[in-house]
């Protein structure tokens, strides 16, 4: 595993009135790893990744990506720099075809490459759909697909952006057991070319995929370590995993 820091935060905080949703978090994710972010409901996970993606502004602290301070960079510029975030609530274009949804992301990514052609967009969209297993559905209207397939479409849209960091927020929600198995294989394949930050409640998925697990509780990092370390951590058991 690479040891180069891809993204880091220092004292990152987001307060909503008196609620400290994210409270003074120092966090580092290395290039090439699969990092899982877990914690009980209300722990601040989605707020934290929304801060990383630029969807909301921090109350305090800083964010650095590839050695560059991006604390005040808007979300679309973070996407351009290589941060892709798939939302907890599916964010597809339901009236467009599956292919056109992914082509829009591919077009956005290819703007970074002068001289790109329309055929390049189609090729990149096709490749992303192949990777998530939706190539046979490319002509369907996105909104008519089952929820689990819409989640996979969202992952394809993220992949078409050519991310250096792909943030997946509850990606297995709505997937069947067989689809979850396929998804785990997909994440391992994605990790050969991008760093993955996975926010996930399905603990078998987390334990299977993660190199390192960060546990949030009450907006703060409760623990961090390997899956074995986290499974054995008494504080994590009490706060989240249960002691039984």
Find out whether 176 and 148 touch, Cβ atoms under 8 Å: yes
pLDDT of residue 1: 42
Q: What is the pLDDT of residues 11-40, one digit of tens each?
A: 999 999 999 999 999 999 999 999 999 999
Find out whether 142 and 92 touch, Cβ atoms under 8 Å: yes
Write out the two tokens for 148. 């689990």
Beta bridge partners of 136: none
What dihedral do alpha carbons 210, 212, 218, 220 form, nearest 10°? -150
Q: What is the pLDDT of residues 173-200, one digit of tens each?
A: 888 898 899 999 999 999 999 999 999 9
Its pTM stands at 0.90
Write out the two tokens for 69. 């301070």
Q: Which residue segments constitute the domains of the chain, with CATH numbers given?
A: 1-73+166-244 (3.40.50.300), 83-162 (no CATH)
Distance CA 7, CA 181 (A): 28
Distance CA 96, CA 196 (A): 27
Distance CA 168, CA 148 (A): 14
Q: What is the pLDDT of residues 40-81, one digit of tens each?
A: 989 999 999 999 999 999 999 999 999 999 999 999 999 999
Is residue 242's pLDDT more than 80?
no
The side-by-side arrangement of strands in the sheet containing 19-30 is: 19-30, 5-16, 60-65, 68-69
Phi/psi of residue 234, nearest 5 degrees: -65, -40
From residue 181, alpha-carbon distances to 65, 81, 175, 188 in Å are 31, 31, 10, 11
Q: What is the pLDDT of residues 110-156, one digit of tens each?
A: 877 776 777 899 999 999 999 999 999 999 999 999 988 898 999 99
Distance CA 156, CA 101 (A): 9
> Tokens 């927020």 — which residue?
169
- The residues near 185 (Cβ < 8 Å, ≥ 6 apart) are none
pLDDT of residue 200: 92
């Amino acid at each position: 595993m690479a040891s180069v820091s891809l993204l880091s935060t220092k004292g990152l905080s987001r307060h909503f009135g008196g609620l400290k949703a994210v409270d003074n978090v120092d966090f580092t994710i290395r290039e090439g790893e699969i990092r899982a972010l877990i914690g009980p409901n209300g722990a601040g996970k989605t707020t934290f990744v929304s801060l990383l993606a630029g969807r909301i502004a921090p109350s305090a602290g800083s964010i650095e990506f590839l050695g560059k301070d991006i604390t005040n960079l808007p979300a679309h510029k973070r996407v351009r720099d290589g941060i892709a975030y798939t939302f907890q609530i599916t964010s597809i274009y339901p009236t467009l075809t599956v292919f056109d949804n992914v082509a829009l992301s591919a077009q956005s990514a290819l703007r970074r490459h002068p001289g790109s052609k329309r055929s390049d967009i189609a090729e990149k969209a096709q490749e992303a759909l192949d990777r998530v297993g939706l190539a046979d559905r490319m002509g369907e209207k996105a909104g008519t697909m089952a929820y689990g397939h819409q989640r996979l479409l969202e992952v394809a849209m993220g992949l078409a952006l050519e991310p250096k960091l792909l943030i997946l927020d509850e990606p297995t929600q709505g997937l069947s057991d067989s689809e979850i198995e396929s998804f785990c294989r997909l994440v391992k394949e994605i990790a050969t070319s991008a760093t993955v930050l996975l926010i996930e409640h399905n603990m078998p998925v987390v334990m299977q995929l993660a190199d390192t697990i960060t546990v949030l509780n009450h907006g703060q990092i409760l623990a961090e370590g390997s899956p074995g370390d986290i499974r054995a951590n008494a504080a994590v058991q009490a706060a989240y995993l249960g002691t039984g």
